[in-house]
Structure formats: structure tokens, C-alpha cells
A and B are shown apart, each in its own frame.
Chain A
Amino acid sequence: MDLISNLALGFSEAFSSTNLLYAFLGCLLGTLIGVLPGLGPAATIAMLLPITFTLDPSAALIMLAGIYYGAQYGGSTTAILVNIPGEASSVVTALDGYQMARQGRAGVALSTAAIGSFVAGSVATLAIAALAVPLAGLALKFHAAEYFALMVLGLIASVVLAQGSLLKALAMIVLGLIAGTVGIDVTSGSYRLTFGFVDLLDGLDIVAVAMGLFGLGEVIHNLTRGEERRTAYTSQIRGLLPARSDIRRMSGPVARGTLLGTVLGILPGGGALLSSFASYAVEKRLSPFPQEFGKGAIEGVAGPESANNAGAQTSFIPMLTLGIPSNVIMALMIGAMMVHGIQPGPSMMTDQPALFWGLIASMWIGNLMLLVLNLPLIGIWVRLLTLPYKYLFLGIMTFCAIGVYTLASNSADIYIMVFFGFLGFVFRRLDCEPAPFLLALVLGPMMEEYLRRAMLLSRGDPMIFIERPISATLLSIALISLLAVSLPAIRRKRDEALQE
């Protein structure tokens, strides 16, 4: 049994005391920053990335995975307690979770979310372990044309499934791809879009751009919007454990949510967001008490929370096996891996098996830690999430500046951060989501490389993308979904579904 020996290798790596410590620290810091007002998971990870750069690669990856889960869980906590979802995928959790909190069942809602996430995380970890080997095998059959088509599909999918204007999101993707070409062209060695700045020769640093767009950008956004009122239901967190009737009601939704999330998370661009929306819709339809939804139905927390955690986890699959990030957070993870000299992709599994399987095992450990860590610490999170923004934004600014500066002890990275902080303000002001931009920035250089290789193979004939069956399928899915969303009727349906 390869699966078992692989997992055994992973657990022996992850269970070393230092790695356990970093998994713990990662979860703790991730949740800590994740529950703070005005910081989504992307900003949390961008802010905490520099801390991991001093560690050895496997400890760093394990800590990052912990930060990711912690940040996700922090998002659910704020959704339930203050009706402010930390990120898009916990929007659904806020619907019923906040109502439960208002009825004095905040503790039950939080533990439902934690238990659901743990179950989902465990199943999804197994799914990753089982699927990684065959998928990496499939990846070896992929040539330049297929990789290019897959990236196109990933970018289109991230637009189609997001809220807001399709055209603006497409423009942001193209802009991100353009930004990805800044620096020395690897093939010809000539300088592109560097405008005479020596510091731009290596391209735009992903971490500096992310800190600008999400760190400073969100600070500016939150300050200009004026302080939102956060009233947490602090006094009523008693009775953490769900009653027997609650457990009976949540087991079905958890199982279905896990399944949905595991499958949808693998799709490029899908991940956590789509899974949680889909799960909520399914549960509402299947539930014997549909009238309770939106008024504190435990199914409305259990299903989506399981789904978004499973989806968040399986969205590692395209990154680990193909080297392609399927969302912004994965893009940041790739950035972090590259700092450590790890190239994610099919060869990672064979070249660095201990690292690869250690990461997968640590995903499960991260989920377990969240369960044991967060339930007892809920009191602290509650106090943190009502911290006035006044005391926070200066700390965020400090963290961003020091974090970016210490990347390379170079002030130029701060100039890049400030530039993108300004762009982030302009983008948000014009209702353009910055997330697709960052995803495209990471994918851009890879896309260009695969495009060049494919065209070289085909002697300049673009038909190669249509003649090869896998590539043709991927591209037609991208085209069909793009056309589908631009049709007014379907578009309205999508907006309704996302709004619901």
C-alpha cells in the first residue's frame, strides 16, 4: 500500500517536535490575525509570510499551512460572532451562524464550525493523499499546450465564480498578466517594462505586491469607509458542546458538505467559495425545516463550513501536482515556496518526498490543532475581534513595512508595496477586485513560457491548442463558462445564487 507508506513518511516528518511547534504557531498566528477586523486570509498570509522565510523549507511550509487554516477559521469566527465574514467563502456561514449567536447559541455554532471543518479536513487530506500520485502521473502527460489551456481555464474560472462585473475582472486578469512580464525576459535576456529601474529586473515581488494590494489597500479601504459597528455576542458564549439533537442534525450536512467541497475544491478557480455556496443551497433544499434557514439553522453552518474547509484543502491539489495555483492564497503559497527554492509541481513528489508528504500530513495536524486550540481560546478571539480599528491599522502598517523590507533588506520592495497600495485603493474605488490581478501576476510568466513552447512545437500554428484533445476540452470549458455568464439570464441567476 503506497498510500499508507507515503502517509507514514509524512506523519513521521510532521510529528517531529519542531514541526509540530511550527504547525501550532502557524494555527495560532493565523487565527489571531484572521479574527482581527479588516484582515482577510490573503492579507493575513501576506503579512505572515516573511516570518516563515527564516525557517527551513519543511517547517516553513507546515507553518504556512497552519496559518492558512487558522486564517480560514478566523474568518468563520468573525462571521458567526459579529456577522462580518472575514472572506467571501464564509459569507454563507454568517447567514445562519450569526442568527444562532443572537439566539445565545454562539458556542454551539462555533463548535459546529470547528467539528465540521475537522471532519472535512480529515477526509480532504485523505483525498489529497490518494489523488496526488495518479494526478501527478497525469500531469506528466501534459505538454505545453495543455498547461497553457489549464491556466486559461483557471483564470477564467476565478472570474466566472466571483461576484461583480465580468469585464472588470477580465481586465484585471489581463493587467495582472502584463505585470507578470515586468523584468528580464528569460528567453531573450532583454529588459521588459522596467523603465530603467534596476530593482525591477527580477520582476515584481509577489509578497510586496500582495502586501500593497491587500495589506495597505485594505487599511485604506477600511479607513475611508468609516468604522463599522462591531457588536459581538460575548456574554452569551456558554455551552460550547452541541446537544445530541444538534449532532443528529449536523451529521448529514457535514458529510454532504465534505463531499461537495472535496470535489469542487479540485476544480481550478473553485475552491472554498463555490463549495460553501453550493452546500448551503443543497442543505436548504434537503432540509425538513427549510423555513429555519436564515434564522439560525444549524445545517446552514455545518454544511457550508465543512464544504469550505474541504474545498480549501483540496485546492492544494492543482498546486501540488501541476504547480498551478487555483486561487490567490495558493498563489501566495507558491511565492513562499519559491523563496525556499521549491518548485511546486509533479517533480516535487519524487524529488522531495519527505517535504511533500510531510506537508500533507501536517494539513491533518493543522485541522486537529484548530479543534483543540480554538474552542478553549474562543474568549480571547472574542476580545480581539472587538478591538477598535484605531489601534489596529497602525500596527498593520508597521507589520507590512517591516515584513516587506526584511524580504531582502531592500527599500525598493517598499516602493513596490506603496505603489500597489495606491493601485489597490484605485481598484477598489472603481469596484475592481484585486484578487484576479494577483493570481494572474503569478501565472503570467508560466503562461508565457508554455505559450512560447507550444507555438515553437507547432511551428507557429495556433491550431495546436484545438488539435490536442485535452487542451481543446479545457479551452472549450473556459469558453462555454465565459459565454454562459455573459448571457443576461444566466448572469442574473448567478448573481441571485451568490447573493442568497
Chain B
Amino acid sequence: MDLGVKNSKELAAGLMFLAIGAFIVYVTSGYDMGTARRMGPGYFPMGLGLILCVIALIMVGRSLVRVDENSEPSCPTLFELRVVGAVLFGSLLFAFLIKPAGLLTTVAAMVLVGSFAMRGYGWLAALLSAAALSIGSVIVFIWLLGQPMQVIGPLFRF
């Protein structure tokens, strides 16, 4: 993945900011700019988008010239992707399940998915964590703090 680039992290960051900046400029170009005296909704974000592009271009330029000895490859490893996937998908699952399934099963499902983020967690440990955390959060958040959530949602009521 090393294309003769001397600082691949700076290059990657520069390209990311450049893409975001260009995207923002593109989107905000559809907004009303107004004038410097009476700024429209597009003036401030468009200006920022342009500034971001300039900063990003400097970063890209520098990354091609300057050497950074500590630079590691910017490509994520498979294990990193697994961690990101487990943590984020677990949290998303919470958003999907909380209304229909209620807090008890939702937390358990999230914890089971989340446990994939760590190598060698083991299914027994995962089940125990899921049980402890789901019961614990029902006690703390619903019974003690009185948050408006259901223990068991409509999905499991017949």
C-alpha cells in the first residue's frame, strides 16, 4: 500500500479532509450566499468548506515531501474492522430493539454482539456479562432513575 509516499497517514488525512471539504462546498453551493453584509445560510459553511480544502491541500502536498519515521500504514487491519463492527453494530442494535423489545433483551443483545470485539471472550463469559449488564441496567435506569423505558417490550407480550 506504500506508493512511494513518505507519510501515508498525513496523506490519508489530507485526502479525507479534501473530500469532505469539496463535498461541503458542493452541497452549500446550492444555498443562498447572501452578501458579506447580509450573510445568507450558505456563506459561513461555504467559506469553511473552502478553508478546509486549502488546509487539506497543504497537508497532501507536505505528505509527499516530508518524511515521518514514525509513520505507520494508514490501512486498517482486519482485527480493527472486527472491533469497529462489533462495537458500532452492537450500539445500532440497541437503537433498533429498544422500542419493540424493551431494555432487558436489548442490552443483552447489544452485549452479546459487543463481546465479539475482544478476541477469545468465550461464549460463557459473554452470556454472563449479558445477563449481569441487562439486569443491572434495568435496576439502575428503570427502577432507581425512573427513565421512561420498558423492561419487556411489546414484541414479547402475547
Residues of A in contact with B (beta carbons under 8 Å apart)? 51, 54, 165, 167-168, 170-171, 174-175, 177-178, 181, 185, 187-188, 190, 192-193, 216, 219-220, 223-224, 390-391, 393-395, 397-398, 400-402, 405-406, 409, 411, 414-415, 417-418, 421-422, 425-426, 429-432, 448, 451-452, 455-456, 458-462
Contact = CB atoms under 8 A, between A and B. Distances in A.
Interface of B: 9-10, 12-13, 16-17, 20, 24, 27-28, 31-32, 35-42, 44-45, 48-49, 51-52, 55-56, 58-59, 62, 74, 76, 79-80, 83-84, 87-88, 90-92, 94-96, 98-99, 103, 107, 110-111, 114-115, 117-118, 121, 125, 129, 133, 137, 141, 145-149
Contacts of A223: 83, 87, 117-118
Given A167-B55, A188-B40, A456-B37, A400 B12 contact: no
A405 B94 contact: yes
A190 B41 contact: yes
A395 B137 CA distance: 9
Given A411-B95, A411-B98, A455-B37, 13 more contacts: A167-B55, A167-B58, A178-B45, A188-B40, A216-B88, A224-B84, A393-B87, A402-B94, A402-B149, A406-B147, A452-B39, A455-B36, A462-B36
Contact of A395 (B44, B133, B147): B133
A219 B41 contact: no
Q: Looking at B9, B83, B87, B96, which has the most chain A CB atoms within 10 Å of its CB?
A: B87
Given A390-B121, A394-B129, A398-B107, A220 B84 contact: yes
Nearest to A184: B41
A117 B73 CA distance: 42
B114 A393 contact: yes
Contacts of A448: 44
B114 A175 contact: no
Contact of A411 (B12, B96, B118): B96
A171 B36 contact: no
A170 B55 contact: yes
A414 B110 CA distance: 13
Contacts of B141: 402, 406
A54 B144 CA distance: 12
A207 to B, nearest CB: 15
A177 B97 CA distance: 33
A399 B114 CA distance: 13
Contact of B52 (A175, A400, A402): A175
A174 B87 CA distance: 28
A393 B118 contact: yes
A171 B13 contact: yes
Contacts of B45: 178, 181, 192-193
28 contacts: A54-B146, A167-B55, A168-B59, A171-B55, A171-B56, A174-B48, A175-B17, A181-B44, A187-B41, A192-B41, A192-B45, A216-B87, A216-B88, A219-B117, A220-B117, A223-B117, A224-B80, A224-B84, A393-B117, A397-B91, A398-B111, A401-B91, A402-B149, A405-B149, A422-B88, A455-B36, A456-B37, A456-B38
